[in-house]
C-alpha cells in the first residue's frame, strides 16, 4: 500500500463511494473492488440489509463526507439468505435483523421453477433490490438534490466478478432464474481504459460541495462510470 496514501488518509477522508455489503468474511469491499485506504466508506452487516443503523451511517457519509455514490452489494451463496431459506428457528436478535430478508426470500419462492443455488441467488438479488429501494425512500431528498446516486450489485465469489443490478432487483438482461449475463465488471478497476466520455461523466456527477485535494484517480472514474451504465 502506498505510504503517501496512508499518510494522506490519516489527515482527512474523502471516500468516493459508500458501500453497504454483507459482513461475510470472503467479500471485503476494498478487496472486491480493488480499492485502497480512504477510497470507500464501508457499512457491513449480515445480509446487507438496510435497517436504521445502516441507513444512518450511509446518510452520514453523504451529508458529512459528501460521498456521491452508494453501492449495495450482495453476493452469491449468501449464508444469511440460506439461513432464512432453511426455515430453522433463529435467535430473536438475528430474526429481527433478517426481517427484510424474509420478504426477499418469499418473493423468490413465488417463482416455482427456482430451487437450490438458483433460488438462493435470486433471493440475493431481490434482497439487494429491497435495500436499494429502502435507501432511496429514506434518502429521497438527498437524491433529488443530486447529492447521491444509489445502485445495486451482486458479487460472484466463484469468478470474482460484479454484476450491476437494476431497480427491478435483477441484472439488466437476465430473469431471476437465469445466470446474470449482462453488465459484468472485472474487478481490477484501476487497469481499465478511460476515454473522454467516461471522464466527463464522472466529473460532472461530483456532488456540490464534494472536495478532493487532487484530480479523481482513474479507478474512481471507472467505478462511477460503470455504476451509471455508460458503455462505449
Note the pLDDT of residue 180.
35
pLDDT in tens, 149-179: 999 999 998 888 888 886 444 433 333 333 3
Alpha carbon of 141 to those of 55, 148, 227: distances in Å?
14, 10, 21
Minimum mean pLDDT range among 89-98, 107-116, 126-135, 210-219: 210-219
Domains: count for the chain: 1
**Assigned domain for 31 exists:** yes
In a domain, 213, yes or no: no
How many CB atoms lie under 10 A from the CB of residue 137? 11
- The CATH number of the domain holding residue 22 is 3.40.1050.10
Is 137 within a domain? yes
Q: Is 200 inside any structural domain? A: no
Q: What pLDDT does 164 receive?
A: 84
Whether residue 213 has pLDDT greater than 50: no
pLDDT tens, 130-154? 999 999 999 999 999 989 999 999 9
> Is residue 223 included in any domain, yes or no?
no
In a domain, 34, yes or no: yes
- 199 is a domain residue: no
Per-residue burial over 94-126, b if 16 or more Cβ lie within 10 Å, else e, is eeebbebbeebbebbeebeebeeebbbbbbbbb
Domain span at 132: 3-189
| pLDDT (mean) for 112-122 | 91
Helix (H) or strand (E) holding 72: strand 69-75
Q: Give the pLDDT band of residue 15 (cuts 50, 70, 90).
A: confident
Q: For cell 471485503, name the residue.
A: 28
CA dist., res. 52 & res. 112, Å (int): 33
Amino acid at each position: 500500500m502506498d505510504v503517501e496514501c496512508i499518510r494522506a488518509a490519516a489527515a482527512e477522508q474523502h471516500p468516493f463511494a459508500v458501500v453497504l455489503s454483507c459482513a461475510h468474511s470472503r467479500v471485503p469491499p476494498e478487496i472486491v473492488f480493488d480499492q485502497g485506504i480512504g477510497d470507500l466508506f464501508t457499512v457491513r452487516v449480515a445480509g446487507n440489509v438496510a435497517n436504521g443503523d445502516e441507513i444512518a451511517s450511509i446518510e452520514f457519509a453523504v451529508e458529512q463526507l459528501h460521498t456521491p455514490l452508494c453501492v449495495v452489494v450482495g453476493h452469491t451463496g449468501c449464508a444469511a439468505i440460506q439461513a432464512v431459506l432453511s426455515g430453522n428457528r433463529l435467535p430473536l436478535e438475528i430474526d429481527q435483523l433478517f426481517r427484510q430478508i424474509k420478504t426477499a426470500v418469499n418473493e423468490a419462492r413465488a417463482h416455482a421453477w427456482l430451487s437450490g443455488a438458483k433460488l438462493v441467488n435470486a433471493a440475493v438479488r431481490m434482497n439487494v433490490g429491497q435495500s436499494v429501494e429502502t435507501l432511496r425512500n429514506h434518502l429521497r431528498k438527498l437524491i433529488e438534490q443530486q447529492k447521491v446516486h444509489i445502485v445495486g450489485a451482486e458479487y460472484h465469489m466463484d469468478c470474482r466478478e460484479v454484476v450491476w443490478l437494476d431497480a427491478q432487483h435483477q441484472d439488466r438482461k437476465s430473469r431471476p432464474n437465469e445466470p446474470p449475463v449482462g453488465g459484468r465488471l472485472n474487478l481490477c478497476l484501476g487497469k481499465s481504459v478511460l476515454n473522454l466520455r467516461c471522464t466527463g461523466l464522472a466529473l460532472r456527477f461530483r456532488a456540490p460541495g464534494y472536495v478532493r485535494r487532487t484530480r479523481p484517480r482513474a479507478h474512481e472514474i471507472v467505478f462511477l462510470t460503470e455504476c451509471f451504465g455508460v458503455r462505449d
